[in-house]
């Protein structure tokens, strides 16, 4: 069962990463390097695994929603920082 979940998660991450890959074929405005794909793949995979862990280990629905929301908020903050450098940290290349 665990292997099946991981396989589905990897397929979802791959499908999400296909969006910028396909966009790169049609426009010059999307310009990702191999490292961009690797970093985003890791970020998506860690987020998915974190939410999967919460859904398996936390029993109360309210706590599941709260912890999953926190994981998603952290994901979006890191994504925004990597994309446009909202905090101007060296992490974003500023």
- State the sign of the Cα–Cα–Cα–Cα dihedral 34, 35, 39, 42: positive
For residues 31-41, average pLDDT:
93
d(C-alpha 25, C-alpha 5), whole Å: 31
Average pLDDT, the chain: 90
d(C-alpha 90, C-alpha 68), whole Å: 27
pLDDT tens-digit readout, 42-87: 999 999 999 999 999 999 999 999 999 999 999 999 998 888 877 7
Say which residue the tokens 């280990």 belong to: 57
d(C-alpha 36, C-alpha 28), whole Å: 16
pLDDT tens-digit readout, 15-25: 999 999 999 99
pTM of the full predicted structure?
0.86
* Residue 79 and residue 92 in contact, taking contact as beta carbons nearer than 8 Å: no
Q: Return the domain boundaries, the chain.
A: 2-92
């Amino acid at each position: 069962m665990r292997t099946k979940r991981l396989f589905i998660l990897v397929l979802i991450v791959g499908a999400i990463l296909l969006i910028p890959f396909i966009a790169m074929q049609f426009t010059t405005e999307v310009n990702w390097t191999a490292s961009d794909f690797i970093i985003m793949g890791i970020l998506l995979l860690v987020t998915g695994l974190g939410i999967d862990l919460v859904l398996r280990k936390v029993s109360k629905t309210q706590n599941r929603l709260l912890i999953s929301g926190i994981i998603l908020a952290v994901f979006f903050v890191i994504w925004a920082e990597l994309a446009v450098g909202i905090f101007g940290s060296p992490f974003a290349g500023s």
